[in-house]
């Protein structure tokens, strides 16, 4: 029997299934729940215990990790009848790794404390590749002691791991990350759309400029996918739109004007309206080449 803490992993989609697999391979007893069981099947085949609800999984584990689609999913999973807050073991550590609202993160932390639980908000960056290669950036909000308790688990999934402050701080850091991501997407898309319109081979242009000052993660990893016609999701358009809504709402609360982000949101609204909401974020390139 493993001496490592048992983990409930709730949300085994594009990111979650790889993250959970790292924990499983390290020897943590794993309990899983996902709305679509098929997405957890590989973990089940490798020995994870399937549960029919998030609350049931939470009741069986020392640590509960969630990585879901939208803040509404997080709220339902934690606060719904028979949910995580209600059914988690006394003393359990709850870790929400969804990109969600800082306000909701603080609410979860307060509810957890009231039930004798601990909670961290720990959204991640790095996409599907970062999840597969266990080199995610993990941005954490919560108490120092709870972060120390979670650190060995985080180390199995990421490389750049930091506590930014109290509850909600991880989500605020992720909002800042997503602002940078969304605005940077416009830069490489417009650069390569310009090159193509000028009669150049955008693949050659990409090879010339990606290693210099124009380079960056998206230029290196997403531009080649777009140029090859691969618009499969590493990170969904529908999710970057969700993140931008959170960012714009949070900025409005702070009376901060973010015109670059507002433009990115308008462009991605057009991508979604074109029917590409289930594509990866590199689908922004399709908007330009189809003009």
Catalytic sites, residue numbers: 174
Percentage helix, strand, coil for the chain under 3-state DSSP, each rounded to 5: 55, 15, 30
Please report which helix (H) or strand (E) contains residue 189, including its range: helix 169-197
**What is the distance between the alpha carbons of residues 270 and 78, in angstroms, rounded to a whole number?**
33
Angle 69-71-73 (CA atoms, 0-180°, nearest 5)?
Answer: 60
Half-sphere exposure of 89 (CA within 13 A, CB side): 15
Q: Over the Cα atoms of the chain, what is R_g?
A: 20
**What is the distance between the alpha carbons of residues 174 and 125, in angstroms, rounded to a whole number?**
8
Half-sphere exposure of 174 (CA within 13 A, CB side): 34
Q: Which residues pair with 165 in a beta bridge?
A: 141
Q: Report in angstroms the alpha-carbon separations of 86 from 3, 9, 107, 231, 244.
A: 26, 17, 14, 40, 31
**What is the distance between the alpha carbons of residues 92 and 278, in angstroms, rounded to a whole number?**
35
Which region, left, alpha or beta, applies to residue 97 given φ > 0 means left and ψ of -120 to 50 means alpha? alpha
Question: At a CB cut-off of 8 Å and minimum separation 6, what does 223 contact?
Answer: 188, 192, 206, 210, 282, 285
């Amino acid at each position: 029997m493993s001496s490592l803490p048992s983990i409930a992993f709730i949300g085994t989609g594009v990111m979650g299934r790889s993250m959970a697999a790292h924990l499983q391979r390290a020897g943590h007893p794993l309990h899983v729940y996902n709305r679509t069981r098929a997405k957890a099947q590989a973990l089940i085949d490798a020995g994870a215990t399937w549960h029919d609800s998030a609350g049931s999984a939470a009741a069986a584990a020392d640590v509960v990790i969630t990585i879901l689609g939208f803040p509404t999913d997080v709220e339902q999973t934690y606060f719904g009848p028979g949910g995580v807050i209600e059914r988690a073991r006394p003393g359990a550590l709850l870790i929400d790794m969804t990109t969600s609202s800082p306000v909701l993160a603080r609410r979860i932390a307060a509810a957890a404390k009231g039930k004798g639980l601990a909670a961290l908000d720990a959204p991640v960056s790095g996409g599907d590749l970062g999840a597969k290669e266990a080199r995610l950036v993990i941005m954490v909000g919560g108490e120092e002691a709870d972060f120390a308790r979670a650190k060995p688990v985080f180390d199995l999934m990421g490389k750049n791991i930091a506590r930014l402050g109290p509850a909600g701080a991880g989500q605020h850091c992720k909002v800042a990350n997503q602002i940078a991501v969304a605005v940077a997407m416009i830069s490489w898309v417009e650069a390569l759309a310009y090159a193509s319109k000028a009669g150049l081979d955008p693949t050659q242009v990409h090879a010339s400029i990606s290693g210099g000052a124009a380079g960056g993660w998206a230029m290196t990893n997403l531009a080649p996918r777009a140029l090859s016609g691969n618009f499969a999701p590493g990170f969904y358009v529908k999710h970057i739109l969700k993140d931008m809504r959170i960012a714009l709402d949070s900025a409005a609360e702070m009376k901060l004007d973010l015109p670059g982000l507002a433009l990115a949101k308008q462009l991605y609204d057009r991508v979604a309206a074109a029917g590409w909401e289930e594509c990866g974020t590199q689908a922004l390139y399709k908007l330009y080449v189809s003009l």
